[in-house]
Amino acid sequence: MNIISNALGHVLRIIFELVQNYGLSIILFTIVVKVLLLPLTIKQTKSTKAMQDIQPKILEIQTKYKDKPEKQQQEIMKICTEAKINPLAGCLPLLIQMPILIALFSVLREPVTYGVFVDQAQFATAAKGFLWIKDLTTPDVILAVLSGATTFLMQTLMMPKDQQQGSMKMMTYVMSAMMLFWGFSFPAGLTLYWTIGNVFAIAQHYLIMNPLRAKLAVSKEEVVDEKPRNKK
């Protein structure tokens, strides 16, 4: 983990040396990281969409073989194989991203330790005054509210419509409340990273993910239309 943190720390240091503004450096750093992770996000979106398409068949099998778990698993795996879907493919990008996200939090909490600044004095000076934020090393109320609000909006947008109820809907509120609470507890620099990450994810949803899902849906319809023709 320290290897990843040190590498990310050096990237943030280079950005800071270029722009000479710590708040702006965090914003640019967040965008760079999100762009680098974009291929993994796209892969995860494709896998999730594919699993959603076969979900009705899976539910049908679970109902039909509810008393035969072995047979149930065999039939589900058969459907996944026929659809050329790896059930774990959607989890893999997330598992790869987790160490990076943890390392990022470490870097932003202790930038001196990971080489962003030479010493604590330089860090303290750089962290003073960004937009309305007096000090990026202490919590900021407005940023905390923005963190909670953008988390709620992001979760609502990302969640499939058929899951926007019950426990999943409750999870959206819980996550938003947690980010609001952490915003009042964490240094503003860390909350700024999270908030900008949410804003980027929302923009990404409208500009990339929505068109991608629409394209995947059209591709599936074309394949379905082709099947009857092939049988003739």
pLDDT computed for residue 213 by the predictor: 63
- Residue carrying the six token digits 């929505």: 210
List, for residues 97-121, the tens digit of each pLDDT value: 678 778 888 888 888 999 889 889 9
Q: Supply the DSSP string of 91-156, one letter for each residue.
A: HHHHHHHHHHHHHHHHHHH-TTTTTSSSSHHHHHHHTEEETTEEETTS--HHHHHHHHHHHHHHHH
Give CA–CA dist 45/37, Å, rounded.
13
CA distances in angstroms from 126 to 106, 138, 154, 221, listed in the order given:
18, 13, 30, 54
pLDDT computed for residue 143 by the predictor: 92
Local structure of 212: helix, strand or coil: helix
Single pTM value for the model: 0.74
CB 12 within 8 A of CB 29: yes
Give CA–CA dist 69/64, Å, rounded.
10
Local structure of 213: helix, strand or coil: helix
- Percentage, residues of the chain above pLDDT 70: 77
Residue in 198, 191, 204 with CA at minimum distance from that of residue 155: 198
Residues of the chain below pLDDT 70 = 1, 48, 83-97, 159-168, 209-210, 212-232
pLDDT computed for residue 220 by the predictor: 57
pLDDT computed for residue 142 by the predictor: 92
| Residue 187 DSSP code | -
pLDDT computed for residue 2 by the predictor: 79
pLDDT computed for residue 86 by the predictor: 65
Residue in 60, 57, 65, 59 with CA at minimum distance from that of residue 81: 57
